[in-house]
Structure 1
Amino acid sequence: MTQALWSKESSTTQTELQKTITHFMSGGDVILDRELMLYDIQASLAHVQGLQRIGVIGDEELTQITTALAELTEQFKSGDFVLDSRFEDCHSAIEWFLTQKLGDVGKKVHTGRSRNDQVAVATRLYCREALDALASHCQQIGKTCLELAKKHEYDVLPGYTHLQRAVVSSWGMWFASFAESFCDNAYDAKNTYELINSNPLGTAAGYGVNLKLDRDYTTEALGFNRKQVNPIYAQNSRGKIELQVLGSFKNALLDIRRMAWDLSLFSTAEYDFVTVGNDFCTGSSIMPNKHNPDAIELMRAEYSRLVGAYNEIESLLSLPSGYQRDLQSTKGALLRGVSSAQMCLELVPALLKTLVINTDKCEAAIDASMFATDKAVELVIEDGMVFRDAYRHIKYNYQELENRKAIHSLKKRVSPGAAGNLFLSEIEGRLVALS
């Protein structure tokens, strides 16, 4: 292993106890940091450019460091440079690479910064990209649902409350509900992006440094919309930022869980309202007859996995102001949660496109009682009854509901957003505005 950045000893030889302690403190970091390495290089470039602007690094030195960072980027992408147990983390790896290449010039890179603001800015850059991806996934799911809502606008689907048959509904309305919810999820991702889009670089270990760092320059260079002004808050926001990001992913996965629950029920033999594509199903190791919607069930479980990551971070944050080493443990939960959630969300449009609606089974599940609400309203409008009297009348005269057609019920339900008036153009407008 390379010598630790904080070490006071010149020797890199470690006792077995020291190796065990080192592994306990940072053994997982070097693996996790493979996700953050390129963001840390990006921030390091902005930092040295800022140092050049205040005269700490010369023009030629900046050129040398810039060239070396570009070389490290390419080597890391190609696999020629591996972040492994030689290093504590990506920060030490970058400094080691620059020092090996440039000697004393490389040693200048850490002037005016701490690993505290390094990891904060790398994490912030990672989170911005994750939120961009989340917004994109939500838009794609929303668009797919909108397309299917148009296609199945008047395909009958029983509407349920309390898991009991309630009123006649439609697949168009079901798909439109998720189209609108994923509009909201995309907007939430974008709003969270704006909230976290502040630059902690230049706050060092949480108390600033005795250099007039050009933080406005690094803020602009890294694409942040503002700098995070207070250095103590830059450290106190560790974990808080991660919770904001995971919270946005939770909102999206909460809707996926409900969608997956519906599809799990509707694809059972007892309902048989929909057939899920073979690519998203598996068989049984012992029962030849099985056709299991395993992918849907795992999508349903994904929310729980994300909640676990969220709770792991939240439970760490009972801390005093300033940096505490506990905060290192937020990294794994964030990276696991985001990576797994993105994989799930990416698959949803393809899943939805495989669905085959079994219209005959859906229509057969409509019974006369499901027209009761429609008839009560008709008695109010056509016969002048007050609603509560119409309600009681229908409750004891279901025979009046025989021979009604589900499609007629759907088309007459014209309140804004209802099955006969889905307002798909309004949902579509919101999706277009997100682009």
Structure 2
Amino acid sequence: MSLLWQKSGVEVDACIQSFLAGDDVQLDREFFLHDIEASHAHAQGLASIGILSQDEYTALAAGLDALAADWRAGAFVLDERFEDGHSAIEAVLTERLGDAGRRIHTGRSRNDQVLVATRLWLRERLDELASTCGEVATIALDRAEAEAKLPMPGYTHLQRAVVSSAGHWWAAWAEAFIDNASRARATRDWIDANPLGTAAGYGVNLPLERDAATQALGFARLQVNPGYAQLSRGKFEMAALEALSSATLDLRRFAWDVSLFTTAEFGFVQLPARYTTGSSIMPNKRNPDVVELLRASHAVVAAARAEIEQVVALPSGYHRDLQFTKGPLVRGLGHGLRALALLPDLMRSLQWRREAMAAALDPSMYATDLAIELARDGIPFREAYRQAADPARWAERDPMDSIDARVSPGAPGALRLETLRQRLAAFDEGKA
């Protein structure tokens, strides 16, 4: 099959062409239906300004619908016959419809094709991210409420510090993922701009109905300047990965806690068997491999963002370098979202070993309570601190008294879960 850009008398070297195409055919499978959707809007716009007749537009619309149906049914496969998904759409329409198919590319470039298809795909991925983060926050809030009075050690520097509670631990993840959900929603709103009709970055000498295409594709606004549309490639992808990395960063720290708590040295957490695997040599082992791979997943997302950042070290305008932003985008978002999708069930399934948690509460962990009590009774805090540091003054206490006494806002004795629920409810209503 000849290439869209191939000129008469120009020989195509197979090795060079393989390098130029790279993984585009495989990667474009992610965006193919979005490219078809955008082609619908573009064809409608061409018909509205008289470039396509009504019959041609009707045929193209039906042809695009048929191609989408063939794709979903597996009757059409995007493979190495094509340079990329964009050229495949035009080639199939031309083969099936003749001149009407040859007209579909009027007034657009593969540059704005990839921009709009990617933008539509990113909106879906960010919606998925926001939804998952909201679900995680809900589970964490429910468990915080149910386990608000379950004592557990609080740590700093991985050393026993003060008496805390499982409710306090869960509430931290709840608030983290409310923020992550809000960031995903805000990023989606920020990138919700239509680049279709910007062509190669300088517009075209046609009165394209860009506002109508914006409405047809459900974008919140038009990305006005064609030069900025090119500048946003890579920039918007990095923003989406940054929103995802905010969540996978918290996922990593959650997984770290769980992996520590499952060790015999801690023994606080029992994982369901489905989250563990056996050793190939040690019959006694059950390893928290799922949790460890969740912990490592942030690296994939962060690396993808860094890779794109290096690619876009470019002047303004389109450059073929930008083709290399597609792979890390698909890889980073795909892996990160798959990892996060496992978190809700893990959170629901995690079981505490209460006896081990209680046994880890030693008298030294009440020293801070003692210092605050002495200061509250009028002793200057530094003197109270000195007196409370004396092990002779440490005594076994009721951990529930320690939890109940910690009443500063957000502390174990005053979790303010209702405030977090209100924020989550506002997010669910689209107001966050």
Paired residue secondary structure (1:35): coil
The 5 A counterparts of 1:29-428 are 29-381=24-376, 383-396=377-390, 398-428=391-421
- More displaced, 425-434 or 215-224? 425-434
Paired residue secondary structure (2:313): coil
TM-score w.r.t. length of structure 2: 0.97
Q: Distance in 2 between matches of 1:58 and 1:153?
A: 67
Deviations 1:364-389 (A, max 9, x none): 111111111111111122x2212222
Paired residue secondary structure (1:167): strand
How far does residue 10 in structure 1 lie from its aligned partner after superposition?
Answer: 8.4
Aligned residues of 1:155 and 1:171 also touching (Cα < 8 A): yes
Paired residue secondary structure (1:402): coil
How far does residue 138 in structure 1 lie from its aligned partner after superposition?
Answer: 0.3
Paired residue secondary structure (1:81): coil
Q: Distance in 1 between matches of 2:336 and 2:221?
A: 28
How far does residue 399 in structure 1 lie from its aligned partner after superposition?
Answer: 2.9
Deviations 1:250-291 (A, max 9, x none): 000000000001111111000001111111100101101001
Matched, 1:4 2:12: no
How far does residue 9 in structure 1 lie from its aligned partner after superposition?
Answer: 3.0
Q: Distance in 1 between matches of 2:8 and 2:22?
A: 20
Aligned residues of 1:51 and 1:57 also touching (Cα < 8 A): yes
Deviations 1:127-169 (A, max 9, x none): 1100000000100111111111112111111111111111101
Structure 2, unpaired ranges of 5+ = none
TM-score w.r.t. length of structure 1: 0.97
Aligned residues of 1:48 and 1:109 also touching (Cα < 8 A): yes
Deviations 1:150-202 (A, max 9, x none): 12111111111111111101111111100000000000001101111111100
Q: Distance in 2 between matches of 1:110 and 1:121?
A: 14
How far does residue 59 in structure 1 lie from its aligned partner after superposition?
Answer: 1.5
Aligned residues of 1:200 and 1:234 also touching (Cα < 8 A): yes
Report the count of equivalent residues.
428
> Counterpart amino acid of 1:384?
G
Aligned residues of 2:237 and 2:329 also touching (Cα < 8 A): yes
Aligned residues of 1:200 and 1:231 also touching (Cα < 8 A): yes
How far does residue 390 in structure 1 lie from its aligned partner after superposition?
Answer: 1.0
Deviations 1:382-405 (A, max 9, x none): x22122221111112x33331211
Q: Distance in 2 between matches of 1:224 and 1:392?
A: 62
How far does residue 101 in structure 1 lie from its aligned partner after superposition?
Answer: 1.2
Paired residue secondary structure (2:29): helix
Q: Distance in 2 between matches of 1:193 and 1:275?
A: 37
How far does residue 338 in structure 1 lie from its aligned partner after superposition?
Answer: 0.6
Matched, 1:432 2:425: yes
How far does residue 34 in structure 1 lie from its aligned partner after superposition?
Answer: 0.4
> Counterpart amino acid of 2:371?
A
Structure 1, unpaired ranges of 5+ = none
Aligned residues of 2:163 and 2:365 also touching (Cα < 8 A): yes
Aligned residues of 2:362 and 2:396 also touching (Cα < 8 A): no
Equivalent pairs: percent with the same residue? 52
Q: Distance in 1 between matches of 2:392 and 2:103?
A: 87
Q: Distance in 1 between matches of 2:47 and 2:80?
A: 32
How far does residue 333 in structure 1 lie from its aligned partner after superposition?
Answer: 0.4
Paired residue secondary structure (1:160): strand
CA root-mean-square deviation: 1.2
Aligned residues of 1:27 and 1:85 also touching (Cα < 8 A): no
Q: Distance in 1 between matches of 2:231 and 2:225?
A: 10
Q: Distance in 2 between matches of 1:231 and 1:188?
A: 27
After TM superposition, the runs of 4+ consecutive aligned structure 1 residues lying more than 2 A away are: 398-401
Q: Distance in 2 between matches of 1:9 and 1:402?
A: 91
Aligned residues of 2:276 and 2:287 also touching (Cα < 8 A): yes
